[in-house]
Structure 1
Amino acid sequence: MPNNFEVIKVKELFPVVPVFNYTNKPVVPWKKDVNRLSRDYELKGVNEYIDYVNNKNEVKKSKVTGYALITGKDSGIMVLDLDRNHGDGSKDGIKAYKELIESLKLTQEEQKQAFDTFTVKTPNGGLHLYFKYKEGLKNDSNKDLSIDIRTDGGLIIAPGSLRKIGEDIREYTVYKDNPIYDIPIKLFDKLTEYFGVNKVKGNKPKETNKKPGRHPKNKEYYTVTNEGGRDNALIKYLGRLITQPMFRDIHELLPMAMMYNQCYINPPLDAQEVENKVNSILSYAKPVYCKDNGKIINGSLVKYVLDKSPSYIKGNMLYIYNEELGIYEYKDTRDQLKLYYDHVIIDEDIDPGKADKFAKTIHSIADNHKELFIYENRYINCLNGVIDTETDELLEFTPQIKLDTKFNGNYYDIDKYKEDYNKSKFKSFLENILDDGTILTLQEAWGVMLCPNATKVQQCFIYKGEGSNGKSSLFDIQTALLYDKDKSVCGIGLGKFGDEFIMAMAEGRRVNIVRDDTVEGKINGVFKSAVCGEEITVNKKNKDHVQMKFNMAWFYGLNRMPVTNDKSYGFFRRPIFIPFNVRFGTMEQVQRGEADKIGVPGIVEDIISNELDIVFMWAYEGLKRLKANNWKVTQSEASIQEMEEYKEEADSAYAFYKRELIRVPGYNLHAKTLYEEYENWCLMEKINSPMNVTQFGRQMASYGHKKGTGMAHDIDKPGNSVFFGVNYKKNVYIQVENTEKVFEENKQSTFMDASFKPSDIGNSPF
């Protein structure tokens, strides 16, 4: 029978938001009202599709595996989350909770409330204790107790939800099917010591006569105030608190105000009234980074910004952790100046010099990471968490894993993905534009985009083919896979690597995509270093030069091959071609022979709207195969043939060698005569600029034929300058089925008969 989440309906655990892919954290923006479900009929069963709106206000669809209750005032519920088997397993939240209750000396009725309220057992063996909502506690965690509180601003996974633990799918089950009780007052007050302002380390609160938090010492604030003086007493208390910088923040001041209201105001003021007074008092308070006159203290502002969120510096960029997205977002020079201006209180501080000083100070004291390959090469940030590619485990978002790129796909069961892929429009689209072998090459190329490993892969990918062949459509799907393509993609053309400031474009980017590269100019040597993840000097206008490595995936769309001065093996092993040989058009164009197939309107839009999870998992499958193959990309026959044609087009010596020469150990050719043969061949092939003799010699050496002094067998003279181990194909006999030797044009020397083996015919240095 399908799970229809009856417990949520019976207990009226609303509002909830959907959870996908057997995780314990919703990826839907739960603060958007449109994503909140508040009625029985809105709930979908397990593996039923449900619509939601993402952060870009796009309507998406995914399969439900659970729901998360929005705790606090909205639902009227707060939950104590007692963790077990969390982290290293040394902390037991259930045991700590029992010890805490015992220390409070509760009445029998209060113990019943504390232990017998409605309780849910988690897949990890922990417990969720549901209580009626009471204002004043902060939504927070205490790792020493292994207890979390979920109240205003929090979420808790609802009963009936499913979670994947290792290979098992486990359910959040009802442990105690009792009413949801009020939280005992003594327990609530004690929890403020852990979660209100101060988090007390250890399993017990500190022994102290003071109230939690840093109260002013004046005892006049700690006498009960009755009606007639309540407003004044609370304002006076708050005014005293905000003289301390730590309380100039609503998240710190509001819990203190709520606690004071409960303890010293009789009867307590309405919670909304207390919150209004907190907002009012904060509107007059100067931030912690300002002097009393409102002027910014540069060092204090820098410390405030760095303490507010995890951050680091890489190159010229400041990266600050976005908790909602679970990634680090980069701040370029302009963003850093804006960061300063966003904190200005008085007009006197609107000063470019001060803003620049702020940016320079951040760069001087923030954590500096020249490279973060250890994270980028192992972890992938996707919509529902962080994938550890070593274990295939889905982790929760954490600032400890420093990633700055997020992908528009959910990670889910590999068997389910394969079933979905085989029925997908994406599979049909690929098979319509590429051959089977090239699809495998492309799949691994997209895997490199997920997890670059540039120093191991050391290759770029070139989509080659004339127009109307699917290249642009494929690029559309590829860029849609990036959560924020504007911050993840740069476009450095193959002919632009020699430009002075060009590499600054690549800072903070995961992938370089040039859809239709015209390749103006020749390819610079920086290209090889960039593709291989080697250190490069990055020059940015009005900035100091920095040495950086780029861990990126490189993609180009070409109609024709680029020109290069570099004829080395190292250069030619960098590009991998993905040939697009199918032309799409209308029915009439196909009938006239101007196109091979009829295009399918709207298929790309359908894939982007409905199948990005499948596309993401397809790319991840390619990454896993590439990794298993020791980072050697699978190349199709079509891809290899494109490279051979490119090498012959770009390197006339290689074309001459491949067509006219053959490797023959022990046989040498007269160097001068061979070069003249090469020049004559270029003339016949109408190659206008043959290599000079030095370049030709260098290329022959790269093919395994060094130049030196020896016997020139082709002119039968010793002591000449020769190329070793090579002969003209026209001089070499071919062994046929009747094993007779067939000679072409020139008679073979005795040496050839003695030392040349037919198995050497056709061998290539590549």
Structure 2
Amino acid sequence: MDVNKQNSQTETPQSIQSFDEITFKTAKKYLDLGWSVVPAKVWWDKKEQKFKKKPALNLWKEYQRRLPTEEELHKWFDNTNQNGIGIITGKISGVVVVDVEVDGLDLIKNLNLKSTRVDKTISGGLHVFFKWSGIETRNKVRIGNKPMDIRGDGGFCVITPSYAERDGKIYKYEWEKEAPNSELPKLPFLGEEIRETERFDRDSALGLSIGKRHNLHLKLADSLWNDIVMGRIDEEAGWVRFGADNRTCTPPEPDKDLEVLWRSAENKVKENPPEFDEETQEKLAEKIEKAEAGKNLTDASNAEFLAKLYGDKLRFDNKRGRWLVWGGHRWQPDVDGSVNRLAIKASRVRQREALQTKDFKKRLFVTKWAIKSENKQMIDSCLGLTKSTLPVADSGENWDEDPMLLCCENGVIDLKTGLLRDGRPEDRITMSTRINFNPNATCPRWERFISEIFNGNKEVIHFVSKALGYSISGDTREQVAFFCFGTGSNGKGVMFNTLNTVLGDYTQDAPASLLQKNSQNTNTNDIAGLEFKRFLISSETQTTGKMDERRFKILTGEDNFRARFLNKEFFTFKPVAKLWLFINHKPKSDDDSKGFWRRVRLIPFNVSFTGEKEDKNLKAILKQEAEGILVWLVRACLTWQKEELKPVPDEIRLETDAYRAENDDLFDFISDKCVESPEAEVKASLLFKTYGTWCEESGLKYNDALTRNAFTSKMGDRHPRDRKKTGMFYTGITLQEGYVAPEQKTPFLTETETTKNDPKTEKGVGTIEEIGTGVATNSILLSLPRKKTISHRDSKTTRVATLRHEIDKVPTPASIHPSEPKVIPFVEDLDDDSNDIPF
């Protein structure tokens, strides 16, 4: 059963203070809290003159793993004379209880043990209830020399309204403090305060069989269990220890046998403390050395000791080779050597533990080792082995994976609701905005600034705010990039510098080379640094440069990408950064496909702030409004989730279309001569002939016109081709109604041939002949004048093919020797566009 899930879905019950009887109704109230309830027995021991308590079930340990049913509660608490009710603490109930004895009540204040539920015990002490932290919490039968202990995972605790009779008077457990509708707080000092005084749970670690454990319990009672059997802690704590240990016994002992062990150890030690025989000492030494992680004096034991001491606040990401330290709301990358400090601290904790050892030689030996462990070489060795020691070792998967969680300095924002909550280790977040989230903060100057840079255009302002809200999430469903275009002094720089401050770790300034097309650049270092980033700010590419369309599609898509840092191994990740380019020149692109242009949103920055319009204090003012701007962004994200990035304002749509036209070789041709429709089609040869005529009419220069291959490729990206009996057709496009293509000038292919034996020249001249109509129809490649020399070589001849544009029949010069006309079916690639000329 998912205890946390149940707790979150269960309504907090009414006050329990009014219940002074132990009935089903009382037990059900606790069960509704998600607590694992069991009946308890409480009585006054006249001989020892103290209250004692224990579970009233023979088989209570199964409720360490599951909650009881209502039927079981009825069986236990209906029409019975139960005088005690208890709970199993730890993960199963989501509760940790600090038990403070009467003479330690001052610790409540000193250790800041504030809680919404405090129970006054039958002996006058206090039970302080805290929320289970999500990390295994072991039972501590004593916190150092302090008169208090902790009921953690698998522990047992008697609670209100349990009672017992003493000398004719009733003594009760009572609520000292209860806020029924408040969530329990986390234990403020859980971890370091407890860990540094923790006494090792030796017997549970031994994992002994029942027979051997029974014998060793008795023989070890005076040394391993003297705190319990000599009355230094009460019997309830003994059941805590036995209960927690019994979860790891091999096999688990029946509860009655546990009680026999308890009583036997208690009586035997008090009457006649035993001595160890040699055989028993050897067995114990071997078992304890194997069981006590960190007790062997080796580098490995130092690593195990560090992992045991700080395993809940330390991780090593083996995928990225980095240390992470839990900082309260997120796992923070170690940038200041905090892991080294923890290793040194662990060595000093070990020194303090050694000082509590009764054996002088062992105490001296362990103390020397602990002091030596502070040497740099040993610290390095310890940390090196800790990287592979659980729970510190981490595979590196699933960090910062939830796209709708945004971490800030005072918690984690759920972007689905806009609410702040505490960060949890299981969130696996490493990033932070580096500022607090204050839902009451405002940003009037930022809102005015946004209105100013977009000249009060409400549609554009609304769209841009949604785009910025979308960009703080890790969601990439929109698959778009934002091109912020305008000349200088228009607010782009101020806007993005401010967002850099507000979003902290989630932003990244990308170099201009990130999107610069460079066939020789195979370095992925700049892309590798984008992992986990959500807001990518890139300055423009070089004025004369072209965009790397492949990288652009990677950064605006939802596919994984393989990259690596310099001199590091490759790794795969999914980019989630939203690309924002602030540009004074629009980058050029050779990609005119729909797959490219559907990703582009060009946002114009047309207002200039110079002279009197310039506010020299603006950056400083906006920085002071950082918390308010974060609230503005979260609200914008909520709006985006409702509306998405629709509709696109006319101003942005028209600017984007114009930008596309500037980069699209076919945009103007299609706009002037064609109609695009799903049902339309046009013969490929006619469309290309029309394009050639349009080029002539438009005065397009030779170098700017498309060859047949280029035309076929680019038009095919827009409109698939379909071969029919009458020829090849483009689908989804046709010529405008009533348009008739005029007669087009025809380029002719001529060929000359000679042998190498010509005495006058190295390259003789052969025949020149116009290519016939049938061949020319399939061989015309250019619609504009063009001259190009291309060679075919074999062992005997050299052919030179020439393209010429003429209206009249091509004359035959007197110097040309007659020969048979030849059609060359294939030409080797001799320059960049030779492959566009299939003869």
Q: CA deviation at 1:151?
A: 5.1
Tell me which residue corresponds to 1:599. Answer: 614
- Choose the corresponding residue for 1:468, options 470, 477, 489: 489
8 Å contact kept, 1:530–1:536: no
- Choose the corresponding residue for 1:400, options 426, 441, 448: 426
Cα offsets for 1:178-222 (capped at 9, x unmatched): xxx99998526999748756534457359xxxx994489695999
- Opposite residue 506 of structure 1, the aligned amino acid is L
What's the TM-score, normalizing by structure 2? 0.49
Q: Which has the larger radius of gyration?
A: 2
The 3-state SS of whatever aligns with 2:554 is: helix
- Choose the corresponding residue for 1:442, options 464, 471, 480: 464
Tell me which residue corresponds to 2:514. Answer: 493
Q: CA deviation at 1:523?
A: 0.8
The 3-state SS of whatever aligns with 2:125 is: helix
Are positions 1:506 and 2:522 aligned together?
Answer: no
The 3-state SS of whatever aligns with 2:592 is: coil
- Opposite residue 397 of structure 1, the aligned amino acid is G
The 3-state SS of whatever aligns with 1:555 is: strand
CA distance in 1: counterparts of 2:378 and 2:546, whole angstroms? 47
Are positions 1:307 and 2:341 aligned together?
Answer: no
Cα offsets for 1:117-155 (capped at 9, x unmatched): xxxxxxxxxxxxxxxxxxxxxxx9998484666655648
- Opposite residue 493 of structure 1, the aligned amino acid is L
- Choose the corresponding residue for 1:346, options 362, 365, 375: 375
- Choose the corresponding residue for 1:662, options 663, 675, 680: 675
Cα offsets for 1:506-538 (capped at 9, x unmatched): 234333222454475531413312322311111
Q: CA deviation at 1:327?
A: 1.5
1:321–1:333: structure 2 CA closer, same or farther, 3 Å change rule? closer
Tell me which residue corresponds to 1:187. Answer: 125
CA distance in 1: counterparts of 2:621 and 2:110, whole angstroms? 39
8 Å contact kept, 1:302–1:358: no
Tell me which residue corresponds to 2:331. Answer: 328
- Choose the corresponding residue for 2:582, options 552, 557, 560: 557
8 Å contact kept, 1:330–1:508: no
Q: CA deviation at 1:432?
A: 0.5
1:725–1:501: structure 2 CA closer, same or farther, 3 Å change rule? closer
CA distance in 2: counterparts of 1:552 and 1:87, whole angstroms? 45
8 Å contact kept, 1:498–1:526: no
- Opposite residue 500 of structure 2, the aligned amino acid is T
The 3-state SS of whatever aligns with 1:506 is: coil
CA distance in 2: counterparts of 1:215 and 1:345, whole angstroms? 26
- Opposite residue 478 of structure 1, the aligned amino acid is L
The 3-state SS of whatever aligns with 1:376 is: coil
Q: CA deviation at 1:453?
A: 0.8
CA distance in 2: counterparts of 1:494 and 1:686, whole angstroms? 29
1:697–1:405: structure 2 CA closer, same or farther, 3 Å change rule? same
1:586–1:379: structure 2 CA closer, same or farther, 3 Å change rule? same
8 Å contact kept, 1:671–1:707: no
- Choose the corresponding residue for 2:631, options 609, 617, 624: 617
Q: Which runs of 5+ in 1 are unaligned?
A: 1-83, 111-139, 158-171, 225-286, 588-597, 711-718, 733-742, 747-766
8 Å contact kept, 1:337–1:359: no
The 3-state SS of whatever aligns with 2:407 is: strand
Tell me which residue corresponds to 2:255. Answer: none
CA distance in 2: counterparts of 1:562 and 1:556, whole angstroms? 10
Instruction: Give me the identity figure in percent.
Output: 15
8 Å contact kept, 2:466–2:645: no
8 Å contact kept, 2:433–2:503: yes
Are positions 1:641 and 2:641 aligned together?
Answer: no
Tell me which residue corresponds to 1:232. Answer: none
Aligned ranges for residues 337-416 of structure 1 at < 5 Å?
A: 345-349=374-378, 358=385, 361=388, 366-371=393-398, 375-407=401-433
The 3-state SS of whatever aligns with 2:311 is: helix
1:348–1:614: structure 2 CA closer, same or farther, 3 Å change rule? closer
- Opposite residue 558 of structure 1, the aligned amino acid is I
Tell me which residue corresponds to 1:693. Answer: 708
The 3-state SS of whatever aligns with 1:495 is: coil
- Choose the corresponding residue for 1:534, options 519, 538, 559: 559
1:649–1:146: structure 2 CA closer, same or farther, 3 Å change rule? same
Are positions 1:430 and 2:450 aligned together?
Answer: yes
1:214–1:535: structure 2 CA closer, same or farther, 3 Å change rule? closer
CA distance in 2: counterparts of 1:476 and 1:104, whole angstroms? 73
- Opposite residue 447 of structure 2, the aligned amino acid is K
CA distance in 2: counterparts of 1:153 and 1:678, whole angstroms? 86
1:566–1:202: structure 2 CA closer, same or farther, 3 Å change rule? same
Are positions 1:199 and 2:128 aligned together?
Answer: no
How big is the alpha-carbon RMSD for the aligned residues of Structure 1 and Structure 2?
5.1
8 Å contact kept, 1:387–1:395: yes
Indicate the larger mover: 647-656 or 502-511: 502-511
1:510–1:668: structure 2 CA closer, same or farther, 3 Å change rule? closer
- Opposite residue 446 of structure 1, the aligned amino acid is L
CA distance in 1: counterparts of 2:397 and 2:494, whole angstroms? 35
CA distance in 2: counterparts of 1:489 and 1:101, whole angstroms? 66
Are positions 1:477 and 2:536 aligned together?
Answer: no
- Opposite residue 393 of structure 2, the aligned amino acid is A
CA distance in 2: counterparts of 1:638 and 1:541, whole angstroms? 42
8 Å contact kept, 1:318–1:332: no
- Choose the corresponding residue for 1:652, options 665, 676, 686: 665
Aligned ranges for residues 70-219 of structure 1 at < 5 Å?
A: 89-91=33-35, 144=93, 146=95, 152=110, 154=112, 156=114, 187=125, 193=141, 199-201=151-153, 204-205=156-157, 213-214=199-200
Indicate the larger mover: 457-466 or 631-640: 631-640
The 3-state SS of whatever aligns with 1:645 is: helix
CA distance in 1: counterparts of 2:687 and 2:338, whole angstroms? 61
- Choose the corresponding residue for 1:579, options 601, 604, 608: 604
CA distance in 2: counterparts of 1:384 and 1:86, whole angstroms? 32
8 Å contact kept, 1:197–1:212: no
Cα offsets for 1:649-685 (capped at 9, x unmatched): 222122322344223655635033034235436x735
Tell me which residue corresponds to 2:692. Answer: 676
8 Å contact kept, 2:405–2:415: yes
- Opposite residue 447 of structure 1, the aligned amino acid is G
The 3-state SS of whatever aligns with 2:413 is: strand
Q: Which has the higher contact order (CA 8 A, sep 6+)?
A: 1
Aligned ranges for residues 235-274 of structure 1 at < 5 Å?
A: none
The 3-state SS of whatever aligns with 1:668 is: strand
Tell me which residue corresponds to 2:784. Answer: none
Tell me which residue corresponds to 1:764. Answer: none
- Opposite residue 529 of structure 2, the aligned amino acid is M
Query: Aligned pair count?
Result: 497
- Choose the corresponding residue for 2:320, options 305, 308, 316: 316
1:357–1:319: structure 2 CA closer, same or farther, 3 Å change rule? closer
Tell me which residue corresponds to 2:641. Answer: 627
1:526–1:490: structure 2 CA closer, same or farther, 3 Å change rule? closer
Q: CA deviation at 1:616?
A: 1.6
Are positions 1:522 and 2:547 aligned together?
Answer: yes
CA distance in 2: counterparts of 1:186 and 1:330, whole angstroms? 46
Indicate the larger mover: 640-649 or 540-549: 540-549
What's the TM-score, normalizing by structure 1? 0.53
Q: CA deviation at 1:288?
A: 7.4
Q: CA deviation at 1:88?
A: 7.1
Tell me which residue corresponds to 1:60. Answer: none
CA distance in 2: counterparts of 1:705 and 1:222, whole angstroms? 83
